[in-house]
Amino acid sequence: MTSPGCESPHLRIVVVNPAAPGAERDAALAEQARRSAALRIGLLESGYDLVASLPADVFLPERIAQLQPDMIIVDSESDARDVLEHIVIATRDARRPIVLFTEDDAPASMDAALEAGVSAYIVAGLQAERVKSVLDVALARFRREQRLLDELQGTRQKLAERKLVDRAKGLLMTRYRLTEDQAYQRLRSMAMNKNMKLAEIAQRLIDVEDLLG
C-alpha cells in the first residue's frame, strides 16, 4: 500500500456503492448512476488511480484486504451504517482514509460515521469538480489523526518500558543489595553486552524471576 503521506494523484482508490433497498432500488438507479459517473469523472480528472468499484456485501473486507487501496470512498445516498461496519472490519489492522458521500444529513448518522473512522462526511456534495478538494481535506485530516495516534502509541510504549525497567531495577536491588543507580548501571551493561534494548533485558530478567518464583 502506498503511504498515505504521498501526493494525492498517486493514491489507489476503491469506491464502495451500497445498493438501494428493495422498493427503492428501481427509483434510485438513475440517481446512483449519476452519482457514480460524477465521482468517476472527478477521480479520473484529478489523476487518481481508481482500482475497483465494489458492492457493499459480506465479501467487502476480503476484497479490500486483497486490493490494499490507499483510500476508500463510500457513495451512499442513504444510511451507510451497514457498509461502514464492513469497512471498519477491513481497515482494523491497516487504517486508511475513508470518505463518505451521502444525502443523509441526520446528525446521528454523521456521528456514527465519524466514530467509525470516516475522515470526511460529505452531504449533497458529490460533484465532479469538488472531488479533489474533498479528498485533499480528508487526507489532511487522516494524516493529522495518524500523527496523533502514533504519538500517543509512542508515549504509551515509553511508559510501559519505563515500568519494566523500574521493576527490573527493583529486582536487582533486592537480590544483590544494590542502590538504584547501581542497579540501573548493571541493567545498562547487560543490555549493551547482549546488544539489546534496556526494556528488552528488563523483560528477560522479569520473566526469569517470574519463572523461578
Structural domain spans, the chain:
9-126, 153-212
Task: Tell me the per-residue pLDDT of 170-183, one tens digit each, with 9 for 90 and over.
Answer: 999 999 999 999 99
Task: Sheet containing 98-102: give its strands across.
Answer: 49-55, 12-17, 71-76, 98-102, 120-123
More confident residue, 68 or 20: 68
Domain 153-212 has CATH 1.10.10.10: yes
Residue 158 CA to residue 61 CA, distance in Å, equals 33
pTM: 0.74
Please choose, from the candidates 35, 44, 117, 49, the residue with its C-alpha nearest in 3D space to the C-alpha of residue 78: 35
Instruction: Between 9 and 119, name the one with better pLDDT.
Output: 119
The residue whose grid cell reads 494523484 is 9
Reading the block at residue 75, the C-alpha cell is 457513495
Rounded to an integer, the average pLDDT of 39-51 is: 90
Q: What is the pLDDT of residue 4?
A: 45
pLDDT score, position 27: 59
Lowest mean pLDDT among 2-6, 62-66, 71-75, 208-212: 2-6
DSSP bridge pairs for 123? 102
- Among 3-17, 28-42, 111-125, 185-199, name the one with the lowest average pLDDT: 3-17
Topology alike, domains 9-126 and 153-212? no
Q: What average pLDDT does the chain have?
A: 86
Looking at residue 164, its pLDDT comes to 96
Query: Residue 167 — pLDDT band, cuts 50, 70, 90?
Result: very high
Q: Is the pLDDT of residue 156 over 70?
A: yes
d(CA 92, CA 121): 19
pLDDT at res. 173: 96
Mean pLDDT of 27-42: 79
pLDDT at 46 exceeding the cut of 70: yes
Among 55, 67, 141, 57, smallest CA distance to 98 is for 141
135, 175, 142: which is closest to 42 by C-alpha? 135
Query: For the segment 142-151, what is each residue's pLDDT rounded down to a tens digit?
Result: 999 999 999 9
pLDDT at 135: 92
Task: Assign a CATH topology to domain 9-126.
Answer: Rossmann fold (3.40.50)
